[in-house]
């Protein structure tokens, strides 16, 4: 029971932080939806007997997250540059 209370408390704190992060980076929503579609497609394929290596899925997710991270850095630098100009 204590573990459940701690987990719920952590989720409530994490939910606020995550909502703030998503509010500042709306493209993360599209990335998350893409991940959900990929996972759903993989589950459907495996239900039909098609074996898909998890390495491909993880590699695609890691690549997408890396690209989004780079895009976020570029946007942050551009924002700082435009704020410096009078």
| Mean pLDDT, rounded, for 78-85 | 82
* Residue 59 domain-assigned (yes or no): yes
* Residue 56 domain-assigned (yes or no): yes
The parent domain of residue 34 ranges over 26-84
Number of domains the chain is built from: 1
* Residue 4 domain-assigned (yes or no): no
- How confident is residue 80, by pLDDT bands cut at 50, 70 and 90? confident
Length of the chain: 86
* Residue 73 domain-assigned (yes or no): yes
Mean pLDDT taken over the chain: 90
* Residue 5 domain-assigned (yes or no): no
* Residue 12 domain-assigned (yes or no): no
Reported pTM: 0.69
| Mean pLDDT, rounded, for 52-69 | 93
Alpha helix stretches (DSSP H) within 25-85: 27-47, 54-84
């Amino acid at each position: 029971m204590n573990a459940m209370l701690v987990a719920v408390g952590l989720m409530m704190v994490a939910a606020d932080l995550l909502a703030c992060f998503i509010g500042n980076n709306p493209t993360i929503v599209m990335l998350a939806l893409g991940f959900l579609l990929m996972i759903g497609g993989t589950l459907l394929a495996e239900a039909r007997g098609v074996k898909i290596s998890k390495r491909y899925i993880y590699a695609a997710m890691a690549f997408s997250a890396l690209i989004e991270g780079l895009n976020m850095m570029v946007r942050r630098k551009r924002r700082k540059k435009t704020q410096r100009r009078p």
